């Protein structure tokens, strides 16, 4: 057991709860903070190795994962306001002893309405009877652990070391950074009795919220009512978030709004919307103060299991997907399927593509669950309409979301800054970014075409069987997603897509494909123009056997009421030329 967990348990077992009932809050806080039990806990929190893998596993073994984010933030206890500190202490103790946690939560709730709650813990401790001890502690921490005393963000930590020649003319440095995030699949996040969002903003008393205008139309009043109920001021910034809006100009507007509202560097912005808003809003947060935290409340499947928790924030540029971006993960990502009940069926389809992606190359259990559940996911909107919470489809939907989220996060967060390109979650995203905008395709349909083509390539080079290839194609088709689009016959576009991807991936193609069996991933790193041509024609023949010749239902942005991104991007669609005699065939890859 770690020193930190031992200290938390010892504190719960030995603390005197009498001060929590004092009517005089100043007297109560003085009694709490000057106790020996409090001092021991505080030092253990400050000294904790909060970002280590072992630390997280200890919390998991103790079945106290719900207290882990609070414990990690409490390593910066001295810089926190009293309101934030006691709110986090309540969250931490609740994970180990709910009854004790309830007492601390009630105390935090008593404190929040008063100006005293905004006082920094360190300021109070310096004025206490133990002030000399904390003055010496602060002087030591400036040298040994500045993150504990003056953090820019309680969610990040950086380290580095430097060596140099004696004359300082040659210097070598190594830098590392750690950050943490929480990913939650919850129900009815806007119910006032659900405190997840409330707990993020109650201490500051304000929430700046970026919100998709479609979400505002359906849920704007409910969001307002939630924050009004908890007496938290809500500053809404409503943005249209179609694919055509995913531009640097939108990001610039967001930055202007952030400046106008005076957002602090440690104040989490709330982003409520789908994939486009999570990408652009996250990028704006990454740029503002070079690092402004944000909370992602996902209202679509794409954002819920992919773009929302993703550290890759971005916008389109020069007719190419996600050309501009930054690595900036949310501090909290919430997926709530209750929002799915108002989604257009076409948006549901294209979101399911991202789930299929993880199933094919990462999680065979997820793949089987999708096969078993099938079109019921669409018909029931993930168990949110025409069914009860206790129905089987509701349970399956929640399980599918959880498996997809787990698979995605495992793949994404082990390679936060894309320092290598063995990225299974890029399956379906090798050629599609180059033709999605030009074709006017919904992102999910473009990815589905890429996945189907990737499965065909994998079968052709002997990585998966003929039957496994068709299992993948059948699953994609069963959700009415596209296997084919004639944009694939535009040789200039397709080859340019591959060349751009090689540039983006550090000089390698490294295309993720299913390999060995469904649920495992391999990487194809060489494909000539002629081999690509041969594969496209062969794949077209296979797709012809599927419903609608492999074309999905409502595959285009304009089919689901979105502005057509191809309207500002025109290139003629030309058939591919025939391969030259003597060219290598795909079977020779």
pLDDT tens track for 241-297: 988 899 999 999 999 999 999 999 989 999 999 999 999 999 999 999 999 999 999
Residues 78, 120: Cα–Cα separation, whole Å = 7
pLDDT tens track for 129-138: 999 999 999 9
H helices present in 34-159, as ranges: 36-46, 53-61, 68-73, 82-96, 98-111, 121-127, 131-144, 146-149
Residues 495, 490: Cα–Cα separation, whole Å = 9
User: How high is the mean pLDDT of the chain?
Assistant: 92
Residue by residue, DSSP assigns 158-222 as EEEEEEE-TTSSSEEEEEEEEE--EEEE-S-TTSTT--HHHHHHTTTTEEEEEEEHHHHHHHHHH
Q: What are phi and psi of 335, to 5 degrees?
A: -110, 120
Where are any strands of DSSP class E within 222-378? 233-239, 269-273, 294-298, 312-317, 320-327, 332-335
Name the 3-class secondary structure at 15. Answer: coil
pTM score, whole prediction: 0.89
pLDDT tens track for 124-170: 999 999 999 999 999 999 999 999 999 998 899 999 999 999 999 99
**Sign of CA pseudo-dihedral 302, 395, 476, 408:** positive
pLDDT tops 60 at residue 96: yes
Q: Would you mind telling me the total number of residues written for the chain in this entry? A: 589
Span 9-15, average pLDDT:
93
Residues 309, 295: Cα–Cα separation, whole Å = 9
CB 6 within 8 A of CB 48: no
- Bridge partners (DSSP) of residue 517 are 515
Which domains are assigned to the chain?
Answer: 3-156 (no CATH), 182-342 (3.40.50.1970), 423-588 (1.20.1090.10)
Residues 206, 234: Cα–Cα separation, whole Å = 6
CB 302 within 8 A of CB 275: yes
Name the 3-class secondary structure at 447. Answer: helix
């Amino acid at each position: 057991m770690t020193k930190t967990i031992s200290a938390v348990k010892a504190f719960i077992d030995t603390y005197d709860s009498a001060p929590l009932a004092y009517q005089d809050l100043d007297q109560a806080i003085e009694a709490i903070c000057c106790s020996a039990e409090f001092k021991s806990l505080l030092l253990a929190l400050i000294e904790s190795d909060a970002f280590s893998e072992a630390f997280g596993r200890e919390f998991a073994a103790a079945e106290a994962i719900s207290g882990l984010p609070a414990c990690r933030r409490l390593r910066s206890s001295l810089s926190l306001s009293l309101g934030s500190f006691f709110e986090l202490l309540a969250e931490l103790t609740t994970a180990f002893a709910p009854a004790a946690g309830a007492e601390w939560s009630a105390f935090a709730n008593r404190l929040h309405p008063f100006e005293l709650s905004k006082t920094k813990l360190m300021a109070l401790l310096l004025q206490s009877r133990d002030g000399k001890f904390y003055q010496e502690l602060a002087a030591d921490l400036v040298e040994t652990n500045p993150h504990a005393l003056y953090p820019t963000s309680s969610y990040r930590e950086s380290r580095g070391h430097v060596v140099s020649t004696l004359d300082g003319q040659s210097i070598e440095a190594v830098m590392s950074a750690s950050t943490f995030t929480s990913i939650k699949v919850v129900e009815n996040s806007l119910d006032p009795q659900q405190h997840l969002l409330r707990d993020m903003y109650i201490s500051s008393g304000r929430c700046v919220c970026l919100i998709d205008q479609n979400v505002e139309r359906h849920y704007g009043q409910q969001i307002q009512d939630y924050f009004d109920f908890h007496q938290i001021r809500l500053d809404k910034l409503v943005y249209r978030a179609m694919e055509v809006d995913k531009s640097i100009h939108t990001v610039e507007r967001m930055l202007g709004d952030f400046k106008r509202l005076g957002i602090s560097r440690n104040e989490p912005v709330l982003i409520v919307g789908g994939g486009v808003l999570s990408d652009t809003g996250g990028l704006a947060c990454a740029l503002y103060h070079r690092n402004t935290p944000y909370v992602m409340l996902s209202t679509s499947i794409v954002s819920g299991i992919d773009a929302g928790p993703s550290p890759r924030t971005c916008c389109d540029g020069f007719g190419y997907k996600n050309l501009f971006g930054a690595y900036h993960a949310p501090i909290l990502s919430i997926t709530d399927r209750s929002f799915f009940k108002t989604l257009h069926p076409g948006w549901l389809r294209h979101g399911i593509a991202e789930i299929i992606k993880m199933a094919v190359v990462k999680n065979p259990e997820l793949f089987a669950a999708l096969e078993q559940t099938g079109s019921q996911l669409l018909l029931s909107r993930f168990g949110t309409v025409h069914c009860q919470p206790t129905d089987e489809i509701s349970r399956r939907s929640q399980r599918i979301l959880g498996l997809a989220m787990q698979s995605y996060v495992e793949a994404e967060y082990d390679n936060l800054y894309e320092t290598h390109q063995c990225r299974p979650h890029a399956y379906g995203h090798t050629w599609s970014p180059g033709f999605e905008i030009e074709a006017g395709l919904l992102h999910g349909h473009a990815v589905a075409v890429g996945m189907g083509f990737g499965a065909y390539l994998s079968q052709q080079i002997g990585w998966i069987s003929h039957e496994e290839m068709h299992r993948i194609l059948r699953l994609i088709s069963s959700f009415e997603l596209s296997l084919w689009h004639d944009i694939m016959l535009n040789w200039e576009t397709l080859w340019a897509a591959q060349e751009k991807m090689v540039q983006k991936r550090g000089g390698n193609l490294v295309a993720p494909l299913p390999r060995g069996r469904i649920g495992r991933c391999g990487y194809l790193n060489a494909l000539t123009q002629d081999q690509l041509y041969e594969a496209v024609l062969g794949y077209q023949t296979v797709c012809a056997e599927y419903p609608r010749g492999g074309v999905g239902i409502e595959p285009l942005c304009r089919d689901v009421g979105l502005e057509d991104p191809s309207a500002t991007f025109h290139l003629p669609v030309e058939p591919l030329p025939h391969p030259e005699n003597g060219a290598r065939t795909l079977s020779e890859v």
